[in-house]
């Protein structure tokens, strides 16, 4: 220590000391430091985390949309030092390229009621792979991710979770992705009776929009899923697909110039994550151990916590009980039934914060 | 229907692994091999605890992002029940090979699927725990897992234990829960559309299956009669599998 102090400046007398400054202590032994700030010896000091937040305080979220000019929809989401950019780009998938495509499958269910229609739509999205999310973490966004290496387990896990939630929550209506074509009347048909023409002129699906949803982490400071999911939601709500129509002469789908129709997005699920911080770092026996639930953990806290929980809730339905879209808890046994129930309430609060920031 | 069948298991099926198990239930058959504690790779070495490495191999093809996600879920749950602090700087490797999975006759099965497969999770989890027991890896507790689906059929809500792929497809929500032998909730994964009340019901159902208190020797017959309706009693199954394995191994004495 003495040699380090002497290097600071010639004018100051060297101050040999055995105590560390706060940032040094936090870097060297993060667990005792976080424990100390969470349970201060002085009762008048409120319990806080290393990053200055209260245990149940999330970082403020900022959402910017339409920042990418080449994408059909995009969003930049920032929570603290976690920044993620999401671009949605649509590409046409002609039905002739879909193996085992059955045209009759899509005709009748409009009469079967809304639930059945949504169910069928979900199946269609899944079967034809119309939503393709991809997550890139190796951008130098954090020291632990080396650029130019194959996707890490974390990147693959987050991408599976986003993919799974996109499909299970059914937020994209497949109707918005279909390209319909109604065959035009031919001249000789004009002579025939009306009812026969009606039968012939049934519209058919000629193609689909495939949405490539690319997520890029610009900087990474913990809680990747919440930020990634918010970015996906904001980008999808921002997406405008050009008007596409089937050209029977060229036998291909052609798009009109200019801005098209806004994509129909159902509901607003919001993800809320927390990590459980335990009092003893290396103890096997957890009996009587204190614990803290840290909402929206940053990178350092994620390294110290093993048990994590993520709840995806949707309160956009208005009155009635909150709908839970997904609940994931793993890595420990602290969060039991009561705590998980309580956590859903915390997630509802987070929903209000994020929904307020979400551009309309 | 396969879903109602009793679980089956065999321990020590692989001669060269430290421990192994084969488990089949609800149409899934999984074989697991456990090696450990063995030397860890430099990058996985942790000075305070053992690194638990879980590898999931699907029935066909190579593992994709979905398998990575399953691995990370299993890894975090199993590290919690294994006494990893006893083996610093070492590695405990668990390889899970899916041998058979039930097919859904209603859809074309794609080889690479991105979405989560909830129904397979209990089978993987249970096989891993059995193989760890077979390898004699010290554990804080054993654990049992189950999958529960909430299905709305003709406006009537039903809770389905160990759902088939078709039931998962039409289910409103699917849940996987795992409990330790101290009745603590170890893992909870849910997806779909549900409310807190429904989750509570699912929790009760799963807890009944996972944490049914092991019957005492004299009350065995009575308990077995009661269970018939409630679905499989996973904890009792785990115990009796181990008991019969130990009895077979000590037969020569």
Predicted pLDDT at A3: 45
B251 within a domain of the structure (yes/no): no
Which span out of A256-265, A315-324, B101-110 was modeled with the highest average pLDDT? A256-265
Confidence of residue B222 (pLDDT cuts 50, 70, 90): very low
Among A262, A296, A312, the domain-final residue is A262
Same domain as A340, residue A236 = no
A50 within a domain of the structure (yes/no): no
CB contact under 8 A, B72 and A153: yes
Q: What distance in Å separates residue A14's CA from the closest CA in chain B?
A: 35
CB contact under 8 A, A328 and B190: yes
Which chain B residues are within 8 Å of A123, Cβ to Cβ?
107, 169
A300 within a domain of the structure (yes/no): yes
Dihedral sign for Cα atoms in the order B43, B96, A331, B38: negative
CB contact under 8 A, B199 and A327: yes
Predicted pLDDT at B229: 43
Q: Which of B69, B108, B170 sits opposite A161 (nearest CB)?
A: B69
Predicted pLDDT at A10: 54
Predicted pLDDT at A224: 95
Domain count, chain A: 2
Q: Which of A127, A324, A337 sits opposite B185 (nearest CB)?
A: A337
Same domain as A72, residue A202 = yes
Predicted pLDDT at B231: 64
B200 Cβ neighbours under 8 A, 6+ residues apart = A337, A341
Domain membership of residue A291 as a residue range = 270-357
Domain membership of residue B119 as a residue range = 2-246
Same domain as A281, residue A234 = no
Domain count, chain B: 1
Same domain as A282, residue A251 = no
Predicted pLDDT at A7: 46
Express each pLDDT in A197-241 by its tens digit: 555 567 888 899 999 999 999 999 999 999 999 999 999 999 999
A4 Cβ neighbours under 8 A, 6+ residues apart = none
Q: What distance in Å separates residue B50's CA from the closest CA in chain A?
A: 12
Which chain A residues are within 8 Å of B115, Cβ to Cβ?
126, 160, 163-164, 167-168
Residue B151 maps to which CATH number?
A: 3.30.230.70
A263 Cβ neighbours under 8 A, 6+ residues apart = A73, A172, A176, A236, A237, A239, A240, A241
Q: What is the mean pLDDT of chain B?
A: 85
Beta carbons of A151 and A138 less than 8 angstroms apart = yes
Q: What ipTM does the predicted assembly reach?
A: 0.88
Report how far residue A329's alpha carbon sits from residue A340's, in angstroms, rounded to the nearest whole number. 9
A16 within a domain of the structure (yes/no): no
Express each pLDDT in A148-206 by its tens digit: 888 889 999 999 999 999 998 889 988 889 888 888 766 555 555 555 555 556 788 88
Measured in whole angstroms, the distance separating CA B65 from the mean position of its chain's CA atoms is 20
Same domain as A214, residue A101 = yes
Best probe of the A interface among B55, B85, B138, B185, by most A CBs < 10 A, is B185
3-state secondary structure of A84: strand
pTM: 0.89
CB contact under 8 A, B194 and A160: no
């Amino acid at each position: 220590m003495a040699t380090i102090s002497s290097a600071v400046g010639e004018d100051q007398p060297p101050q040999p000391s055995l105590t560390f400054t706060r940032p040094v202590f936090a870097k060297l032994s993060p667990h005792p430091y976080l424990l100390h700030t969470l349970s201060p010896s002085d009762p008048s000091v409120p319990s806080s985390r290393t990053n200055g937040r209260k245990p149940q305080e999330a970082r403020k979220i900022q959402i910017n949309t339409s920042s990418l000019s080449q994408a059909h929809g995009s969003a930049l989401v920032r929570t603290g030092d976690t920044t993620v950019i999401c671009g949605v780009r649509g590409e046409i998938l002609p039905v002739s390229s879909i193996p085992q495509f059955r045209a009759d499958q899509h005709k009748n269910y409009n009469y079967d009621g809304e639930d059945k229609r949504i169910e069928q739509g979900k199946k269609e999205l899944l079967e034809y792979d119309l939503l393709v999310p991809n997550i890139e973490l190796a951008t130098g966004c954090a020291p632990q991710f080396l650029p130019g290496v194959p996707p890490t387990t974390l990147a693959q896990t987050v991408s599976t979770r986003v993919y799974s939630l996109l499909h299970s929550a059914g937020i994209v209506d497949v109707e918005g992705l279909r390209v319909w074509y109604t065959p035009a009347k031919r001249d000789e048909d004009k002579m025939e009776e009306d009812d026969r023409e009606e039968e012939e002129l049934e519209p058919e699906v000629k193609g689909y929009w495939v949405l490539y949803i690319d997520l890029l982490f610009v900087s990474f400071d913990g809680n990747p899923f919440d930020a990634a999911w918010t970015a996906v939601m904001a980008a999808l709500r921002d997406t405008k697909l050009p008007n596409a129509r089937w050209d029977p002469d060229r036998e291909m789908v052609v798009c009109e110039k200019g801005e098209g129709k806004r994509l129909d997005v159902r509901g607003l699920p919001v993800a809320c994550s927390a990590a459980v911080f335990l009092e003893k770092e290396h103890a096997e026996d957890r009996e009587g151990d204190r614990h803290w639930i840290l909402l929206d953990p940053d990178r350092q806290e994620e390294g110290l916590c093993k048990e994590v929980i993520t709840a995806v809730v949707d309160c956009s339905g208005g009155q009635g009980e909150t709908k839970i879209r997904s609940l994931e808890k793993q890595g420990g046994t602290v969060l039991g039934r009561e705590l998980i129930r309580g956590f859903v309430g915390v997630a509802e609060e987070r929903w209000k914060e994020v929904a307020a920031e979400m551009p309309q | 229907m396969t879903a109602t069948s009793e679980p089956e298991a065999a321990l020590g099926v692989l001669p060269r692994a430290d421990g192994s198990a084969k488990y089949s239930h609800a149409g899934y058959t999984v074989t697991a091999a456990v090696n450990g504690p063995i030397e860890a790779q430099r990058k996985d070495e942790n000075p305070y605890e053992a690194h638990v490495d879980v590898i999931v191999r699907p029935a066909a093809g190579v593992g994709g992002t979905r398998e990575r996600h399953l691995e990370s879920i299993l890894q975090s749950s199993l590290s919690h029940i294994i006494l990893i602090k006893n083996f610093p700087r070492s590695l405990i490797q668990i390889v899970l090979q899916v041998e058979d999975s039930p097919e859904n006759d209603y859809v074309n099965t794609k080889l690479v699927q991105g979405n989560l497969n909830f129904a397979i999770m209990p089978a993987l989890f249970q096989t891993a725990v059995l193989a760890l027991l077979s390898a004699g890896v010290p554990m804080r507790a054993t654990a049992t897992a189950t999958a529960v689906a909430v299905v709305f059929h003709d406006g009537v809500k039903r809770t389905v234990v160990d759902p088939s792929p078709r039931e998962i497809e039409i289910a409103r929500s699917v849940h996987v829960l795992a409990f330790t032998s101290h009745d603590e909730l170890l893992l909870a994964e849910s997806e779909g559309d549900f409310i807190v009340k429904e989750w509570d019901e699912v929790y009760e159902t799963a807890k009944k299956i996972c944490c049914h208190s092991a019957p005492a020797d004299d009350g065995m017959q009575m308990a077995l009669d009661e269970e018939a309706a409630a679905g499989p009693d996973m904890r009792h199954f785990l115990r009796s599998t181990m008991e019969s394995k130990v009895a077979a191994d000590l037969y020569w004495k």
